[in-house]
Structure 1
Amino acid sequence: MATWLITGCSTGLGRALAQAVLAHGHNAVVTARNAATLQEIADDFPDTALALPLDVTDREQISSVIQQARMRFGAIDVLVNNAGYGYRAAVEEADDADVRLLFDTNVFGAVDMIKAVLPDMRANRAGHILNISSIGARIKPAGSGYYSATKAALEGLSGSLQKEVQPLGINVTVVEPGAFRTDFAGRSLTQSATAIGDYAETAGKRRKEHDTVHGSQSGDPAKAAEAIMAIVESPNPPFLAVLGKDACDAFAAVAQAERAELDQWRDLSLSTGIEG
């Protein structure tokens, strides 16, 4: 039996994962800004679920959650940084305060959670940290530049973190989901107040997209939860896990385009070396 700590469990993938972890007999510290949304989970699993309020931008609250988790279950074995939200705006349209809050939540909130669990994981020479990213970090849609940037930052940090902690027995996995049938667009997606007409055919189209695709996504959150559990239980877990056919196809297309451009400009790249 392992002890999981999952952020952002009120809805969507976080909730599906919390339910799967508990159904498989593990302990789970399930968190959300509004702990009342977690009451049903706590009621269904009174002995193995600990539901706590957590805003990942609040370091004191993070510390309190870790302390309560230790008192109830001992050290955290698996941390899942799932809390976060989306933001749509052309780069020029975005409000500075909105962008800073987005990074505080999606990036620095995850960083603070990682730093909170690592002392125990290092002491135990065991643990697994999963950072939920997005295929957006790879495809970088117009209108999602800031959201994509938060996920790209999280992935870059995760890559270095893996090299630092893997020799200590700790695994790190980045999860890049595609579109899953959650209420992300309805509850976890914000937009800038400003709309500039020149971006109507690029970022502007992205702004309207959730009105037509919400509720028709091809990914099943319950199956994603089972896939994440399989990753944690694997003796050789991946660093990067891409979830969903749409994400796999998009990943492959980006990789192919990047390789083609690298080859196209290879001679120029090589021309910058010092000769002799």
Structure 2
Amino acid sequence: MQKTIFITGASRGLGRIWAEAFLKRGDKVVVAVRNPDALAELSKNYASTLLALKLDVTDRTACFDAVTKAKEHFGTIDVLINNAGYGHTGAIEELEEHEIRTQFETNVYGLLWVTQAVIPIMREQKKGHIIQVSSALGLLAFPTLGLYSASKFAVEGISEALAAEVSSFGINVSILEPNGFRTDFATTSGIQSKPLAFYDKVREGLAAGNKLEDWGVPEATAEAVLKLVDAETPPLRLILGRVGIQWIKYVYGQRMQTWEEWQEVSTAAQGN
């Protein structure tokens, strides 16, 4: 059954791969991006089923306007994929105030604005699926990636609460948690703070453990996203990649061990 998909941040990387996969199978797709010209060829090939809109997700009014245009153009929005975002690298001490604010403006507030704009449409339709692109680093944190993880931790909390709030309206919510993939996410699209020499060894240690073979093939994610969109009862969380599952199992195992070791202290803190 043909669906209308609204995707932010789909001019390149995973978002573009997913947009093309939807178009190839006959879905209608709205891509909301900073530079619609980057999609000129795709727009030509799918003139009747692709709507490219210019959007800076940090502009709340523009987000609502884009969603309204999409609804007017295709008549419905069945699936929202909040994919717009970028990675910022820097040790906590290295981060500048404007870097912190900009990371949250895009990764968190941008996601919130588009979500808020879509909910009334889906509520009126009595159906819909909101897919929030988080990260495996939304469940754990690596050194020098704390700011990025903080933004994705926020996405996780917002989305988990949202799922409980809108389920009675027929709206599903899923959180995608990819591990690293071979896109330009960590290279040309990422931003890095001015480094302090104190953290050089930390960066070296992280780089040493960052093996190329652990990075996934971006095109392989398309089938997983199609299955998620087509699922009658989609999961709240879906990890993308073999490595992410390993990381998360290890970290949560450590957490449970610590919580159990300190359970007596935790229980006593209840006070009654």
Secondary structure at the aligned position of 1:202 is classed as helix
Residue correspondence of structure 1 range 148-227 to structure 2 within 5 A: 148-193=149-194, 195-203=195-203, 206=206, 218-227=215-224
Q: How does 1:66-105 map to 2 (within 5 A)?
A: 66-105=67-106
Cα deviation, residue 69, structure 1: 0.9
8 A contact 2:8–2:84 mirrored in 1: yes
**How much identity, in percent, do the aligned residues show?**
38
Map residues 28-47 of structure 1 onto 2, 5 A cutoff. 28-47=29-48
The residue type equivalent to 2:225 in the other structure is I
Shift of 1:11: 1.0
- SS state at 1:241 partner: strand
Contact 1:144 1:203 survives alignment (8 Å): no
Distance 2:179 2:155 in 1: 17
Whether the 8 Å contact between 1:175 and 1:243 is mirrored in structure 2 is yes
Segments of structure 2 that go 5 or more residues without pairing to the other structure are none
Task: Provide the residue aligned with 2:133 in structure 1.
Answer: 132
Query: Which secondary structure state, in structure 2, belongs to the residue aligned with residue 25 of structure 1?
Result: coil
Within-5 A mapping of 1:101-120 = 101-120=102-121
Pick aligned residue for 1:251 from 243, 248, 253? 248
> What SS does structure 2 have at the residue aligned with 1:128?
strand
TM-score of the superposition, structure 1-length normalised?
0.93
55-64 vs 73-82, which moves further: 55-64
Paired AA for residue 242 in structure 1: I
Q: 4+ residue runs of structure 1 moved beyond 6 angstroms? A: none
Contact 1:181 1:217 in 2 (8 A): no
Distance 1:254 1:221 in 2: 25
Contact 2:67 2:114 in 1 (8 A): no
Using a 3 Å threshold, how does the CA distance of structure 1 residues 247 and 126 change in structure 2: closer, same or farther? same
The number of aligned residues is 271
Gap change, CA 1:58 and 1:6, over 3 Å in 2:
same
Contact 1:128–1:170, Cα closer than 8 Å, also in 2: yes
Structure 1 position 142 matched with structure 2 position 143: yes
Tell me, which stretches of 5 or more residues in structure 1 are unaligned? none
Report the Cα distance in structure 1 between the residues aligned to 2:153 and 2:243, rounded to whole angstroms: 19
Larger displacement relative to structure 2 (55-64 or 19-28)? 55-64
CA distance in 2, matches of 1:186, 1:196: 20
Alpha-carbon distance in 2 for matches of 1:205, 1:94: 20
Corresponding residue number in structure 1 for 2:237: 240
- Aligned residue for 2:201, secondary structure, equals coil
Superposition RMSD in Å: 1.7
| Cα distance in 1 for residues equivalent to 2:97 and 2:227 | 39
